[in-house]
Structure 1
């Protein structure tokens, strides 16, 4: 039986009036002001100690309190089972079986609200289940999913990702498959606050991941042989000033592609910029470079009432 608490925003006992991101195993440095008013109290996964960073108590595994609780619950279950068996099977004085007596038990512990519950905008029904919207709960943004694209359920780096629905055999290796277009969101490294510096540093990583070498070390397109800077300029994203860098890359195999990194201040109050990476295969009529601009313009803060959190007209080529 697992007692793990799902990732999400929870009240920070070490800093009243703020919420801190629990990644499923430990407290992170990400904080934000309290989200929308909850209809029921949200329990913390564990009570954090003073910041720097908070330590979840009790430990997730092997902790003394956990063993005591497990032993106590086991004892209660054994006692309850023995009592029930006696009531069901034990004969009374007349030699007939005793009717089972009604039993009561403590209600099962309620799991704390998940991250989606704490970040879902009030009155909008929540965009998480909408196939036309990608939601990044940690960074507090949404973006529209183009027609013919899908939200990826699993990715090697666990980044919220959308991609073209149909895959193909990578030109550089028959042991892997590729997608014509991908878009993913992530948080910049701690301590970096300048969107221009973040975007300029991230574009190399974005190009390498898309066309040089995947997370498993496979050269899916035979590697990048050269690149050309198409654009590097400030850009407005979700009402904030960010920075955009766009490269065209040539690969040893296949048509190459266009890669873009956009960095902008977070709406979630986590203190570091948000990065949105885009990668389109070249020479694809359904993937014009203008679609990158359309997707970038669709980025909205979660709960943006003017756009229903990023929901608007569907995006086409």
Structure 2
């Protein structure tokens, strides 16, 4: 059984009404205040109108008994045309379906962490940081909330990004060698030219190494390199390449890149150390890291 054809509240836009053709939702929508569609003429004149009213009332009663059927037929994929003679608006309609989880959301047991199951670690989700949504770059595990117009006058930028990926392009296993080799690419991709060749920050003018050295990450011996990058437009920022052995599989090196805008709008630079210290092996909430955990402080 299914509800009779008619205009019902749109499950995906409750402020609108949507045409239900008796079997599935169509693509026809209208504002609630719009006049109801015409009732097909009936040979019986007044008797026909009385029948239409009776059908409408019966439809309202049936809805409560056929909620499951209405939900089963709900969806945006049915694009058949609405009937040429729609029935009057019904006071009740198929119930709104339970919303599905967004594909961009990460399902985690703890809302305060982000899981990277491929590399066997979790990251702490600090205040001001969110899981990635609608992010074009690959391997992003978290971003600062919101976007802004890039200083170069093209594109949208984010004040902070953290990436996590497995190093597979070469046989190098040394965290120090890998971090030192990656830092220039990290700076160029963040502040020089993006994947479309656009200079979102007007290009890099100079950089300084502000920190480098060994660091404990998730109970493993890692290495980091941090640059302060000056750009032609905007305040520039900080990039950091952090490499440590994975605790899963073949223990391939894990590369974590940090991109933080400088200036008052950027995230606190101390968040780099807080995130690093909070990285944990997957399923282990106690084994952390950070400077001084088990390795001497970096330069």
Aligned length: 182
The aligned counterpart of 2:166 is 187
Separation in structure 2 between the aligned mates of residue 160 and residue 135 of structure 1, nearest angstrom: 11
Displacement of 1:127 in angstroms is: 6.5
**Relative to 1, partners in 2 of residues 1:129 and 1:215: Cα closer, same or farther, differing over 3 Å?**
farther
The aligned counterpart of 1:97 is none
Give per-residue Cα distances to partners, 1:133-154, cap 9 Å, x unaligned: 1211111111111112111134
Q: Does 1:212 align with 2:192?
A: yes
From 116, 120, 126, give the equivalent of 1:140: 120
**Relative to 1, partners in 2 of residues 1:157 and 1:282: Cα closer, same or farther, differing over 3 Å?**
closer
Separation in structure 1 between the aligned mates of residue 111 and residue 197 of structure 2, nearest angstrom: 31
Give per-residue Cα distances to partners, 1:273-298, cap 9 Å, x unaligned: 10111111112266232211111001
Separation in structure 2 between the aligned mates of residue 183 and residue 235 of structure 1, nearest angstrom: 18
Separation in structure 2 between the aligned mates of residue 302 and residue 262 of structure 1, nearest angstrom: 18
Separation in structure 1 between the aligned mates of residue 163 and residue 225 of structure 2, nearest angstrom: 15
The aligned counterpart of 1:268 is 248
> Secondary structure at the residue paired with 2:234?
coil
Larger radius of gyration between Structure 1 and Structure 2: 2
The aligned counterpart of 1:233 is 213
* TM-score, L = length of structure 2: 0.57
* 1:196–1:244 CA contact under 8 A, matched in 2: yes
Gaps of 5+ in 2: 1-105, 289-299
**Relative to 1, partners in 2 of residues 1:129 and 1:212: Cα closer, same or farther, differing over 3 Å?**
farther
Runs ≥4 in structure 1, deviation > 6 angstroms?
A: none
* 1:191–1:272 CA contact under 8 A, matched in 2: no
Displacement of 1:255 in angstroms is: 0.3
* TM-score, L = length of structure 1: 0.54
> Secondary structure at the residue paired with 2:201?
coil
The aligned counterpart of 2:133 is 153
* 2:116–2:141 CA contact under 8 A, matched in 1: no
**Relative to 1, partners in 2 of residues 1:190 and 1:299: Cα closer, same or farther, differing over 3 Å?**
same
The aligned counterpart of 1:72 is none
Separation in structure 2 between the aligned mates of residue 244 and residue 168 of structure 1, nearest angstrom: 28
**Relative to 1, partners in 2 of residues 1:129 and 1:160: Cα closer, same or farther, differing over 3 Å?**
farther
**Relative to 1, partners in 2 of residues 1:290 and 1:129: Cα closer, same or farther, differing over 3 Å?**
same
